[in-house]
Copies of this chain bind each other. A is one copy, B any other.
Amino acid sequence: MTDREKDQEKAQILIEALPYIQRFNGNTVVVKYGGSAMKDEDLKMHVIEDVALLKLVGMRPIIVHGGGKEISRWVKKSGIVPEFYNGLRITDRETLEVAEMVLGKVNTDLVSLVQQLGVNAMGISGMDGDLLKVRKVMPDGQDIGFVGEVTRVNPDILWKLLDDDFVPVIFPIGSDKEGNAYNINGDHAAAAIAQAIHADKLIYLTDTRGVYRNPSDPDTLISELDEDEALRLIDEGVVQGGMIPKIRNCIDSIRNGVRRVHILDGSAEHSILLEIFTDRGVGTAIMEREQQRYYRGA
């Protein structure tokens, strides 16, 4: 291809994005960002570029992030042995303190990356404007310390930031009625926020490409699911292990006003753009039954 032909092709691709840009104009999108998608700086930058692009073409993204492997690293550094109960980090006061510090640091870094792309961002915790009120979690009656579940979301602060054209970047620390800080599971916080604002999309950047009909066969990735199918896949044992709570979480979000939930591979470059701006998509989208037929290929 000559340079001219290459440019021509670029223009063509921008034009192909037009119907998607139009369709999703003004949509609120909550992106849960964490785990392996955070593992290196390049990958981080790709995710942030995707989010910035969503913002610049008229969508309203919100980032909810975890601390990745950093929390465990710093916990160890402080001489504490990280412990988990059923996948939840046992969080004594010292661990909580470290978690807050690490999440705050990751938050500042993400905000800085977004700002470098010329988009205004504001880093907030669940404390700011009383965004996330929580109560102590007691799994199986076990005391696992300062781990909370969201009981109330106060989205005022989000609407203000979105109206002022900021990308809110949220880390999941909330407070109980007495103002004590609690660590919150990031997936859970993202879902609670998405539900509270009736988000158009909730995107989970995970370590897997989505839901497979046959997990050992990469060709069996399911592109779209409605609630009933998702439940059936759990019943039939197709969905297994750590994916079960995630899928239940998705179904719950759909039932509480989120229009679509996407499960994407966070370590694949630009998976957010690919899922939103191409017909094929790259992950698994879960939605209400009725939406499905109108969606793809529109």
Chain A contact residues, CB within 8 Å of chain B: 3-4, 7-19, 21-23, 25, 46, 49-50, 52-53, 56-58, 74, 77-78, 97, 100-105, 107-109, 111-113, 115-125, 127-130, 157, 160, 164, 166, 173, 175, 178-179, 181, 269-270, 273-274, 277-278, 280, 282
Most chain B CB atoms below 10 A, which of A11, A52, A103, A125: A11
A4 CA to B270 CA in the complex, in Å?
A: 12
Chain B residues in 8 Å Cβ range of A181: 108-109, 112
Chain B residues in 8 Å Cβ range of A56: 18, 21-22, 25, 57-58
Chain B residues in 8 Å Cβ range of A102: 101
Determine which of B100, B103, B112, B269 lies in contact with A11 in the assembled complex, contact meaning CB atoms within 8 Å.
B269
Q: Does A10 lie within 8 Å of B278, measured CB to CB?
A: yes
Q: A8-B274, A11-B269, A122-B122 are in contact. List 6 more A-B contacts (CB 8 A).
A: A8-B270, A10-B274, A58-B58, A115-B129, A121-B129, A160-B160
A118 CA to B298 CA in the complex, in Å?
A: 13
Q: Does B11 lie within 8 Å of A270, measured CB to CB?
A: yes
Most chain B CB atoms below 10 A, which of A46, A108, A112, A179: A108
Q: How far is the CB of A137 from chain B (nearest CB, A)?
A: 19
Q: Does B277 lie within 8 Å of A11, measured CB to CB?
A: yes
Chain B residues in 8 Å Cβ range of A173: 108
Q: Does A280 lie within 8 Å of B7, measured CB to CB?
A: yes
Report the 9 A-B pairs with minimum CB-CB distance, sorted nearest first.
A104-B104, A101-B101, A11-B270, A22-B118, A116-B179, A11-B273, A101-B105, A21-B56, A111-B127
A50 CA to B129 CA in the complex, in Å?
A: 19
A281 CA to B193 CA in the complex, in Å?
A: 41
What is the chain B residue whose CB lies nearest that of A181?
A: B112
What is the chain B residue whose CB lies nearest that of A279?
A: B7
